[in-house]
Amino acid sequence: MSTKEVLNFDHIVVGSGLAGLFTALQLSKLGSVAVITKRSVDEANTKYAQGGIACVMDTKQDSFDEHLRDTMVAGDHLCKENIVKTIVENGPAAIKELIDLGAHFTTRGEMGHQQDVGDFDLGREGGHTQRRVLHSGDITGEEVEKILIKACRANPNIKIFEYHIAIDLITSGRLGWMGEDCVLGTYVLDIRHNIVKTVTSMSITIATGGTGKVYLYTSNPDIASGDGIAMCSRAHVPIANMEFLQFHPTILYHPKVKSFLISEAVRGEGAILKRLDAKGNLVEFMDQYHKMASLAPRDIVARAIDNELKRIGQPCAFLDIRHKKEEFLKRRFPNIFGKCLEVGINMAKDPIPVVPAAHYCCGGVKTDINGFTGLAGLYAVGEVASTGLHGANRLASNSLLEALVIAKFAAKDIKSKMKKFSDERPSGKIPTWRSGNATNSDELVVIAHNWDEIRRFMWDYVGIFRTNKRLERAKNRIKNIRSEIEKYYWDFLITPDLVELRNIATVAEIIIDSAMSRKESRGLHFNADYPQREPKMDYVDTIIQEPYT
């Protein structure tokens, strides 16, 4: 394995979802940008986002205050109010930039409303008291990702490295250099050519998305292995609130379909969650759990489904939208309608079988409002970051909004600090990657085995319903697995699977430790050993400060 190649850029962005590509476009105004992405450029969580982008587009119908309040309530009052305020208020300008790049959002005219043609058709999702979700049919993420890729590809300052996986951050502290710790670059495995490259830059923005693959069942694509969180932790950057892992209530339950989301927007258009009763009839149940019934915040809905299914011993719940016309459903949800039909479910005639699955990581790399991590030159944007917006449970469709706004702030902050980063950067030769005495091993089966084991016990012990005993069991297992991985990590030639396994194991342990240290049930973190609390306006982050190396 060759390890000698060194590349230099002004800025690096790791990840190619909305957060990564929008940040890259902003940074391209300042200099050269390398976008490092471990699969094809479009393979990111963004592509699978159906619902849309929550944003107050019309202050006659809605208000920033209401968006702020809904976010705080959904987040169980653990959101940082000033962060929420800044993000919702800066939303419309960021959306305008996206539209200027060519993004199209469905209009009322396209939905068949004769009046107000040209105004956006705003959707509604769980926890929102207003219709405020901009959408492109039900493939919003795909539409946005497409226009961002086009803009990045056309930009001479941006070079996209597909099938390149970042292994680790290079920091002056880790190299043992004197002076303030700062990020210098990253080691990157070129998957197709099996070369580890050293890529250096003045700033690095981590935009690697989420951690869904830590769990057995997830709505996330295979890339969601928490790479950014694990890399930042190894670089001594604090990680916040990782106990708040969001489970989406409605993933299609069908043996032929893996990880297909039935958007919350379907409930926004009137679908009711039901379960079978003893006589085999479908009955509503969410009205017994929350005043917003099927449109309650996501943590409450996912927990209620989990509770009902365990209580009655059924494998799935159902979404019932049979009261809507087929023509409307086809027009509003063409992707979901088509996918359901492929497996013999006609949404206009059949209830849709659904189960909850891991969906979104509300914690992450701790940053300020500018995405700055506190380590000179290092930023985090999007799902990988914890700005304080989501609190204990993210309000639906707030994530793409956050990524857009923070990408702009991060680029502005980098611009203002570029001279400082460059003046204070210690000089010295950055060593290339050392693969030591590593060899190919016939023991690769341990990678697959450890990966499966982690995902299963995380689902069983650190899922929707937690107890102290379950968390202790998970902790014991992850300790053993992590020490095994660390023992063989440097013996094997580096592969993408090994990089991801190590990251998944690290993130799993951070989630477990965060969950063990929160001594209350709050938002997405439900521990049966701690009684439900009254909502109160206090803010206590769970911070994992120690590096998980």
Residues of the shown chain interacting with ligand SIN in the complex, contacts defined by CB under 6 A: 49-51, 261, 263-265, 360, 396-397, 399
Overall size of the chain counted in residues: 549
How crowded is the C-beta side of 331, counted as CA atoms within 13 Å? Answer: 14
Angstrom distance (rounded) from CA 250 to CA 471: 25
Minimum CB separation of residue 196 from ligand SIN in Å reads: 35
In degrees and rounded to multiples of 5, residue 241 shows phi and psi of 55, 40
Minimum CB separation of residue 304 from ligand SIN in Å reads: 16
Token pair for 316 = 């799935």
CB-CB neighbours of 401 under 10 Å: 27
Token pair for 1 = 């394995």
CB-CB neighbours of 368 under 10 Å: 17
Given the complex with ligand SIN, which of 298 and 425 has the nearer CB atom?
298
The alpha-helical segments, DSSP class H, found in 389-467 are 399-424, 445-461
Which residue's Cβ has the minimum distance to ligand SIN? 51
Minimum CB separation of residue 201 from ligand SIN in Å reads: 31
Angstrom distance (rounded) from CA 134 to CA 121: 7
DSSP code, position 301 = H
Given the complex with ligand SIN, which of 264 and 509 has the nearer CB atom?
264
**Identity of the amino acid at 329:** L
Partnered with residue 245 across adjacent β-strands are 361
Given the complex with ligand SIN, which of 136 and 521 has the nearer CB atom?
136
Angstrom distance (rounded) from CA 321 to CA 348: 7
Partnered with residue 164 across adjacent β-strands are 190
Minimum CB separation of residue 370 from ligand SIN in Å reads: 23
Q: Which one, of 6, 26, 5, lies nearest residue 413 by Cα?
A: 26
Distance of alpha carbon 503 from the chain centroid: 15
Given the complex with ligand SIN, which of 49 and 458 has the nearer CB atom?
49
Parallel, antiparallel, or unpaired for β 272-276 and 282-284? antiparallel
Angstrom distance (rounded) from CA 463 to CA 483: 23
Residues sharing a CB contact under 8 Å with residue 192, sequence separation 6 or more, in sequence order: 163
Given the complex with ligand SIN, which of 50 and 514 has the nearer CB atom?
50
CB 162 within 8 A of CB 408: no
Minimum CB separation of residue 404 from ligand SIN in Å reads: 14
Given the complex with ligand SIN, which of 106 and 263 has the nearer CB atom?
263
Which residue matches tokens 């940082």? Answer: 80
- For residue 519, give Cα distances in angstroms to 70, 247, 318, 516: 25, 20, 33, 7
Token pair for 547 = 């590096």
Angstrom distance (rounded) from CA 248 to CA 219: 8
- Catalytic residue numbers read 298
Angstrom distance (rounded) from CA 251 to CA 264: 10
Minimum CB separation of residue 540 from ligand SIN in Å reads: 25
Minimum CB separation of residue 183 from ligand SIN in Å reads: 30
Given the complex with ligand SIN, which of 51 and 137 has the nearer CB atom?
51
Given the complex with ligand SIN, which of 397 and 521 has the nearer CB atom?
397
Minimum CB separation of residue 265 from ligand SIN in Å reads: 6
